[in-house]
Structure 1
Amino acid sequence: MPSDPAEAVALFRFHLIAEALNPAVGAAERGLIIRGLACLAHPHPDGTMRVYSRGTLDRWVRAYRARGLAGLRPVARSDIGAVRRHPELLAEAAALRVEVPARSSGAIADMLWRRHGVRVAERTIRAHLRRRGLHRAAIGGIPRAFGRFEAEAPNERWITDVLVGPFVPYPRVAGSRRAKLFLIVDDHSRLLVHGRWMTEENTRAGQDVLREAIARRGLPQVLHADNGAPFANAALERSCAVLGIRLVHSRPYSPQGRGKQERLNRYIRQRFLAEAEATGIADFASLNDRFMAWAEQVCNTRTHAETNETPIARFTAGGPPRAADPAVVADAFRWSAVRLVTKTATISLTGRRFQVDPVLVGRRIELRYDPTDMSCLDVFFEGRSAGMATPLVIGAHVHPAVPQAQAPTPTPTGVDYLGMVLGAHEQATVGAISYRDVPLFDDDADQDGEDDPEEDGDGPFAVAR
C-alpha cells in the first residue's frame, strides 16, 4: 500500500473503474458496468465499505481521461480551515490563548460557554489554535537570547553529567553491558576534572566519581548538575552540605546552562569513542585505563578554541586548589538514615536487621554508614555518637532464671515531696481549732470525786452482777 493516502485513494478509484475505461467498451456496455458498480459496496483503503452513485463513477471516468491518475486523487475542500459557524468565538479563543499561553483548550471552551452560552468542542478549539500557530508548544518555543557565562577562577564551578557510551565488551556479545561515563568539567578552565565509565547510573556511582575528583583537584564551590537520578537525591545533598559545596540543578528541559559539558561530550564521542570502538573494547578496566590516559595526554593538554590555552595550564594558573580534610571527606560520602529502635533493641535497614544499645529502645536514631561496607554502622542520637550497630545474630534465648542486667541505681536528690506538702498544710492551718485535741470528758469533774451513775450501776444502763 502506498505511503501517501491520496495516492492510495487514486489507485483504489482506478481499479474500481478500470473495466469501464477500456476503449473497446461501448457507451451502452459502459453504462451497464457503471450501474453494476453502483449497486455494490466496495472496500475503501481506510477499511470501511462504501457505495458510490453512477454520477460519481462517471465523474471519475471523465477525470481519468482528462488528467490521468492525478485526476483521481481526492481534492481538498475549498473551505478547509475556514470557520463556518461562530467565527467570532474562535477569534476570541485565539485572543484568550495569546493573553495567557498556559490556558488549555478545555479551559478556553469552558470560558466561551459561560460567557456566550455556546458550546464549542475542545477538539475544534485545539485544531483552530494549531492552524494559527497558537498551540502551547509553539508559544513556549519562542527563541530566547541566552547570555554567555564563565566562572572567574578554577574550582569555582564544576559541571557534571552522564554520557551514555557503547556496550562493553565491544563489539557487542552476549553479556555486554552499556557503559555510562560520569564526568566532571571545570567551568573556568574547561578541564576534564575526572571521568569514569560505570555499569550503573545510580547515586553511588556519582558519589564515587565526585569523591575521586575532590581527591585529585580539590574542593569546588558549586556543583552544577541536571535533574537525573544520580544527582537529585538526598545522599548527594548531604555530601555537598558536609563539604560546604553548593549543589545547583538545571531547570528541567533547559540544558543551555551546561553548554560546556555538552560540548565536551561531543568531543569525547568524536575523539575517544570513535577510536575505542574501532579497535574494540575488552572490558571496563581497559576502557577506564585508556580513557584516563587520553584525558591527561590529549583532552587536558589541547589548546582550547575559546580560551586559547590548554585546560591544565589555565587550571593550574589559579594556584593550588583548596584541599579537603580526609576525615570530613570520609564522613561526607557516608549515607545517612533515621530509624526507630524497636523493643528488641534492633533496627531495620535495606531488609537487614541490626542490633544497637538497649538504652536506645523507643528512641529515634541516625545511622551513618558506607553502603559498600555494612558490617558496622555508626549510631548517633541527638547529634552525639551512641555506639555502633552490628548485624543481628539470632541465637538461643536466655533462661528466665538468669538475672537480667539491672538499671543503675539513681543518685538520691534529697527531695521529700510529701514532707513539703505536710509542712505547707500545717503552715496554712496554724491558729485554727483542731477538734482532734478536744477531750471527750470533763477531767475536772472526775477529780472532784463525783460519782458516775453508770460506773455505780445505778443508771438506766446498769448491768446486773
Structure 2
Amino acid sequence: MVRNEELETALKRHEMIAPLLVPGLDEAQKRRIRREILDREGISERTLRRYVASYRNKSYEGLLQKSRDDRGKVRAITQEVLDRAAELRQELPERSVRRIIRILEGEGTVKKGEISRSTLSRHLLNMGFGASELKKEKISGNAARRFQKSGRNMLWQSDIKYGPYIPTTNGGKKRSYMVAFIDDATRLICHAEFYDNQRLPILEDCFRKAILKYGKPDAVYVDNGKVYVSRWYRIACAKLGIRHLNTKAYSPESKGKIERFNSTMEEFQQEISLEKPRSIEELNRKFRIWLDEGYNMREHSSLKGSTPIQAYSKDPRKVRFATPEECADAFLWEDTRKVDNTGCIKLNGYEYEAGIEYIGKKVDVRYDPFDMGLVEIWYSGERKKKVSPLKVGEYCGKVQKTNQTVTATHSRLLKVYEQENAKRQNQRIGALSFRSMKGGMENV
C-alpha cells in the first residue's frame, strides 16, 4: 500500500499529463501541449516524457513515487533563495518558474544551473505560491460557446439532483438524490439512479455501472462539488485511463447537456409525485422505465430525428470496454486498521478476522463500500487474504408493512411507459448491439 501523499502526487502527475493522453493527437498538437505543460508546471521535458512513458507502461501505478526519508526538509535550495523566488512569483503570478530562475541567476542570487525547475516548482507549491493559486479568475461578459464532441464516449457529463422524499419505517421521510451520466455526443444517459443517502460513494457507484454498460469515456466533465473532486473518484479515473475535468466555478452553462436533461427530468418528478413511491427500490424501478421510454428511446431535438440510443448504437467509434474485475479494483476504497488481541479488525460496523499473526500490527484493508461481504487484507504492500464478516450485522433492508390500507393515485404517463416498456422487452434481445459497439475494432 502507498501513503496518502504518494497517492496525491500520482494524481497530480496524471492530471498534468492527461492532455497528452488524448487519442488521435498529431505531432504538432503534442508539441504545443508539451510546451504549455512545461511553462505551467516548471518541469523539464525529460521529466514530462518520463511521466508519460511510466503511465503508458504501468498505467496509474507507474506514477507513484517512493517515500523519501528527508520529506519536509528543504533540499538543494536555501530558505533565502526560496523567499526571493516567492517574492518574484507574488510580483507577477503569471511568471513561470523558468523565468523566476532566469531572474535569480541574472541577479546573482544563484549560480547558473544551480537549481532545477522541478525542485523550485515543488517548493513554491508547498509554500502556497503555485501559479494557479495566485492567479485570479478573469470573468468576462462573453456568452458561453456551445460545443459537442464528434463521437460517443469522448466525453461524459455528470450531475447530482435532488429527488423526491421517501417514507421511512418510523413514519418519517428522507430525501433521495439522483446521479446521472450523459454522453456528450449522443445525449444518451449511460446510467442514472436514485440513492437515499450521501454517506456512501453514490457517485462512484453510478459511474461504475455506467462504465460496465457502455464502456470507458475518454474524459468526464464535472463541477467542483465535494463528491466530484474526492480523492477516491479521481484515483478511479486515473486507474481507468479517464481524464477528470472540472468546470469553472459558477459556470453551470458549461455543463449544458446534463443541465438540459435535469430540466427534462422535471416530467418524471411531476408524474412520480402522483405515485408516491414507498421505497428507493420502487422509485428506481419506475425511473428506469421512464428513462427508457421517456428519454433514451424518444427523439431528441439535437439529434435530427434520432433517439439517444439510436445515435449511440450507430456511432462507428469503437468502445473501450472495462472488465468487472478492472472496475472492481479501480473503485475499491482503502483504509488502515490495527489488529486487536483476538486477531480481528473492525470496519464500518463489521468485524473481520485478519489473523493472529498480525496481532498488534497495522494492516491495510481494501473494500467496496457498497458490499462489505468481502474485504482484502494487505500487509507490507502485499495482499494476504480475502475475508468475510465474522457475524452478520443489522444493516439490511427492513420489511415493508403490508397491512396498511393506502389509496394510491397512479400516474397515467408512467403507466403507459410501463406497458410500452414491457412490450419492447419482449420484442428485443437488448438495447444495444455489442457488435456495433465495437465499430472499427477489426481495423485496429
TM-score, structure 2 as length reference: 0.50
Between Structure 1 and Structure 2, whose CA radius of gyration is higher? 1
Q: Which has the higher contact order (CA 8 A, sep 6+)?
A: 2
